[in-house]
Every structure is written in C-alpha cells, then in structure tokens.
Chains A and B, each alone.
Chain A
Amino acid sequence: MEFIGGKFLQVVIALAVFAAIIGLIMLLVDRAPKSAKDKITVAGFLAPAAILLLVGLVYPAAQTSFLAFTDASGKLNGVDNFVWMFTQPEALVTLRNTIIWTVLVPLLSTVFGLAYAVFIDKAKGERILKALVFMPMAISFVGAGIIWKLVYDYRGPEIEQTGVLNALRVAFGMEPKQFLLDAPENTIFLIIVMVWIQTGFAMVILSAAIKGVPAELVEASRLDGANPWQQFRNVTIPGIRGSLVVVLTTITIATLKVFDIVRTMTAGNYETSVVANEMYTQAFRAGEPGRGAALALILFLLVLPIVVYNARVLRQQKEIR
C-alpha cells in the first residue's frame, strides 16, 4: 500500500506544479500594463500549448524525416532504408499486410455499421442494441486482443476445444485450426478484431446521419412506389454521403496506425506485421532507428492525402449548410 501512497503523492505534486504555472500565467496577464495587455494575454494563453506542440510534435516530426535517411549508427545513407523497405521480403510482407488492412477494415466496418444502423433504426430497444455493438470502442486494443485470443484459441484435435470458433469447427466435423499461426489468412483473423472495434464507431455516426435525412423525402419515395432497398439506395445513401466519407477516412487513418492488436496477438510474427508495428520493432527493438523513421515517414505520407481529402469534404459540407 505504501507504493500507492507514493504514486498518489506524485500526482498531487504534478497537479500542484501545473496549477502554479497556470496561476503564474494568469497573474502576469492580469498585472500586465494596459498598453500591452492584449498582446501579453495572447502570448500567455497560447505559450504552454505552443511550446509543447513545437517541441513535442513539429520538431520531432522534422527530426524523424531526417532520421529516415540515416543508418543504425546515425550516418546518412541516402535512400537505403526505403530500398530495404521495398525490396526485402519481410518488409514487403509488412507493406502487403498494411494494404490488406486498410482496404478491408474501413469497408467491412462501414458495411456492418451501416447495415446495423439501418436495421435497428426506430426498433424497440434501439439504445441497448446500439450500446452492445458500440461497447468494443471503449475496450483497449490490448483487451480486445485477449478477448479474441480466447475466441481463436487452439487445442490439439485430441482434447476439448476452449475457443468458440474451433469448438464450432469440431462440432461440424472439421479439424481445429491455428487461426493466428497459419499465414497468410491469419492477417484476416487479426483484421476481424479491428472490424469488431470500428463497426460501433461507424454505426453511431451513420445512425445519427440517417436520422438527419428528412423523413418526408423517404416517405415521398415510398409513395412513388420505391421498395425499401430503392428508398435506401436513392434517398438515404445520398443523404448521408458526407458522413460516409468521414467514417471511411477516419477508420482508414486509424487502421494505418494500428499497432496494439498486432503487438498483443502475434507480435508481428507469422507474417502478420504491419507498418506501425514494424516501425516500433525496428526503432525500439532491433536498434534500427533509421528504418523505423523511414516506416514512420511512409505512414505519414499514406495518411496525408486522406486527411486533406477529409478536411475538404468537411469544408464543402459546412458551406452547403
């Protein structure tokens, strides 16, 4: 218990120091001479965030971009790291997996999320049904990894299965399968975990969007003789286009950066590594910061166009409104 007391004390000290810094800033702003008051206010209020962002985000990002062109000892080595990335078999597997992830996860999550949102719209117990599918959003990727390891659990064919999926396979007369070991399909089984988490996100955003589609429009198309599928395709989908883009792009970005699931379930072994995991492995485990930085840079270049596109769609929507 004394340990915990020590932790508590550290937290209290940190909060006190923080309060003192903020208090000092407020005091300086308040006591500033009238002539410079506005300038000092701006500087004082912005300074902490600005310093943290410049030192902790902008500078490191620039530094990493430079590191990407150095070798393990810190000497410049041109584009060697990138050559390694695009030629070595193990690195190529990583890139291939990342592509599979970024295609499948956004697509499947959005399809499931949209279907579910439509199915439960105005249904009895909508709130509870939503919460069930939304719940994985609150669970850490590590926790999700453990949950799904149990689902995929494998035992030899001679003893009782403890994983749901293998128990089902045996019940149907099939051999139990090593879901996480057999490449290349094991990547798919990791992807399912991410889909399980992201579907709730897609569902919540799309559900709100569906409720925003004017009911008169849907009703009008119904009276025109459109069947439910046609109503959905011709009225609902165009009505939620903006939200669909946001959902797809957001999940794509989250998927590109996925790390914890791979780390906890296979640690990137058995040909399941992805860029974000390989970046960590190279930089902090294999002593190759240059390669790690190169992978991080690639990640940035992959994310960049998606974010720009996303921002443009959001702006267009704002202008329409």
Chain B
Amino acid sequence: MTVMPAPDEAANTRTAATRGGGTAAPAESSAPIMRRVKSKLTSRWATAAALVIAVVWTIPTFGLLVSSFRPAAKQVGPRSDGWWNFFGDWQFTFKNYADVTAAGGSQSANLTQYFANSLAIVIPVTVFVLVLASMAAYIFAWGKFRGREAAFIFVFALQIIPLQMTLIPLLQLFTQVLQIPPGSYTQLWIAHTIFGLPLGIFLLHNFISEIPGEVIEAAKMDGAGHTTIFWRVILPLSVPALASLAIFQFLWVWNDLLVALVFSGGTADVAPITQRLAEISGTRGARDYLNPAAAFVSIIVPLAVFFSLQRYFVRGLLAGGLKG
C-alpha cells in the first residue's frame, strides 16, 4: 500500500494563486477562501478530538506506571491517595519492583521465576511454529500433489475453530493417552504450536507463493533439491513475513492466559507470568500495592517487542494476520 502525498495544501495554494490573479468576480473568489477557513476550523476541531482520544487512551497505562513507583503507604491504607498526587509530593521508590521480582516464600509474587517461564514457553513455540508453518506453506505454494488447493483451504478454514472447542479433549489426550506429565512445559509447547499453525501457514503461504517462479527454477537448474531450495532460497527471501509471524506468535503466547490455565498446572515451575499476575491481582489484600509493578514487569517485554518492531507488526496485520 503506497502512501499518497498530501495533496490538500499544495492544491489549495495553487488555486489561491491562480484565482488571486485578479480579474475574478468577488463572489467567485470568496467561495474557496470561505471553504479554506471552514476546513481549517474543522481540522482544528479534529485535532482537538484526536488529542482527547490520545490522552484518554494513554492515561490508564500512565496511571499504572506512576503507581508502580509509589510507596506502599501511598497506594493502600489510610494515607493512600490517587496516583496523580505523585506530582505534588514526589515520593518515588523502586521497592515495589524489588519486591515482586525477589525470590521468596509462597507469599511473594516471585515474578522472576514466572518471567523465565514465559520466555521458556514463548521462545521454543515461536521457533516451532515458524519452521513447521513455513515447511507446510512451501509445499502448499510450490509442491505438486493432487488436492493441494483443497488441503490448503481446509487448513485455512481451521482458523474458525475457537480454542475453547479443543481444550477438554486436548487435555485428556495429553495426560491420559500421551502420558505427558502435567506441570511440564511440553503440554504448553505442543498446545501453543498447534494453535499457531493455521494462521502461520496461511500468512506464510501468501508470501511464499508470491516469490517469482524463476528464482526457484534457477535453483533447480543448479541442481538444488527441495531441501536446499527451502533452506537456502525460500526462507531467506521470506524474512519479512517470518518477522511478522514471529512477532504475532510472540505476543499471543506471551499474553495468553487461557491455554496456560488449562495446561500449565499453575506452579512456579511452569506457569507463565500472565497466570501469576491473574492470581495475585485476583486476591484482594494488603499486598495490592504490588499489582502495578507486577503488571509492568509482564507488560515490558511485549511493549519493547512492539515498539522496536512495530513496522513488521503492522505489515503482518495488513496482510491478514488476524487471530482471536
């Protein structure tokens, strides 16, 4: 999608200049001026409305960020007040962050462990999905077999199945048939990989099928087999699409709660940070003042990924990277 140059301003000045040439009747020349004044006015209102939306959308997160640096007594208890008072009294502390990440008894949030769990879940899943989806997408795009189209449409259609429909049987399958021990990463790795595949195959297929056939023919002429073509030609050319998919996959899995609740067993050995966060924020109590800091520890990674790789993320969205 190409970004159109802003034509408004240029056109405006041009018409003004030609009309301003002198001989036009007053009635004729006043109309565009009126229009310009009007559109300036509306654009001022539009800018104001946009700023209001931007502020309203940012304040909740900003409030949480400020709260996470306020001492406990300011957040809960009789001397507590709203986070906006921070700008009057400037009481600032890192203690909340130290507390939530410190290893301690079962009472402590112990977020370092859960943070490591999230990474240990996300990284392999992202690799698995990228490799398996690109292998399948390559065959769907360039392989030769009967029913290729139909099979691809079937995979695409699998996106319809809501996660919720698979949870009960999948859990039974894992624990009873495959005997995968509960409370290990394995269940989470496999489950997330399965759920990521349909969209991954679809996204990568769109990209890989657009690679010019001559490139692949040329490689074949040089004596390259399917495996060489796949690893040496297709994958390097698909880096932009792979980057988009990797970001999606990373964000979904990092932010997931439902799959974690069903398959993780909930212990500090395996459960991801979202699950711990849901736990500690779900119980009201004297340690409520840790919630903002805990939430920020979990938000920081996706935000960093998001802001540094926003371009690929948006490109993926526009390519139809939509999943619920």
Question: B216 in the interface, Cβ–Cβ < 8 Å?
Answer: no
Q: In the complex the two chains form, what is the Cα distance from A141 to B128 in whole Å? A: 24
Can you name the residue of chain B whose Cβ is closest to the Cβ of A252? Answer: B324
A163-205: which residues lie under 8 A (CB-CB) from chain B? Answer: 163-164, 167, 196, 199-201, 204-205
Question: B90 in the interface, Cβ–Cβ < 8 Å?
Answer: no
A164–B59 CB distance below 8 A: yes
Question: B97 in the interface, Cβ–Cβ < 8 Å?
Answer: no
Chain B interface size, under 10 / 10 to 19 / 20 to 34 / 35 or more: 35 or more
Question: A69 in the interface, Cβ–Cβ < 8 Å?
Answer: no
When each residue 1-34 of chain A gets 1 if its CB lies under 8 Å from chain B and 0 otherwise, what string results?
Answer: 0011001101100110010001000100110000
Question: A83 in the interface, Cβ–Cβ < 8 Å?
Answer: no
Question: B29 in the interface, Cβ–Cβ < 8 Å?
Answer: no
A163–B295 CB distance below 8 A: no
B212-232: which residues lie under 8 A (CB-CB) from chain A? Answer: 225-227, 230-231
Shortest beta-carbon distance from A314 to chain B in Å:
7
Q: In the complex the two chains form, what is the Cα distance from A46 to B227 in whole Å? A: 13
A160–B80 CB distance below 8 A: yes
Question: Majority SS of interface residues in chain A?
Answer: helix
Q: Which residues of B contact A58 (CB under 8 A)?
A: 158
A143–B166 CB distance below 8 A: no
Q: Which residues of A contact B123 (CB under 8 A)?
A: 11
When each residue 253-286 of chain B gets 1 if its CB lies under 8 Å from chain A and 0 otherwise, what string results?
Answer: 0111110011000001100001001100110000
Q: In the complex the two chains form, what is the Cα distance from A62 to B123 in whole Å? A: 30
A139–B166 CB distance below 8 A: no
Question: A267 in the interface, Cβ–Cβ < 8 Å?
Answer: yes
| In the complex, number of A-B residue pairs with CB atoms less than 8 Å apart | 335
A7–B120 CB distance below 8 A: yes
Q: Which residues of A contact B5 (CB under 8 A)?
A: 215
Please count how many residues in chain A sit with their CB below 8 Å of the partner chain's CB atoms: 119
Q: Which residues of B contact A227 (CB under 8 A)?
A: 38
Question: A238 in the interface, Cβ–Cβ < 8 Å?
Answer: no
Are A257 and B324 also in contact (CB < 8 A) when A3-B113, A58-B158, A64-B168 are?
yes
Are A143 and B298 also in contact (CB < 8 A) when A29-B227, A61-B165, A149-B281 are?
yes
Shortest beta-carbon distance from B321 to chain A in Å:
10
Shortest beta-carbon distance from A267 to chain B in Å:
7
Shortest beta-carbon distance from A249 to chain B in Å:
9
A299–B50 CB distance below 8 A: no
Contact for B158 among A42, A53, A136, A257, CB less than 8 A: A53
Q: Show 17 residue pairs from A and B whose CB-CB distance is below 8 angstroms, ordered by the A residue.
A: A18-B128, A18-B131, A38-B143, A45-B139, A49-B133, A123-B47, A129-B54, A142-B281, A143-B295, A143-B299, A146-B64, A147-B61, A151-B60, A164-B63, A205-B317, A211-B3, A311-B156
Closest 9 CB pairs of A and B: A140-B255, A56-B194, A138-B306, A119-B50, A60-B169, A60-B166, A63-B169, A254-B324, A49-B136
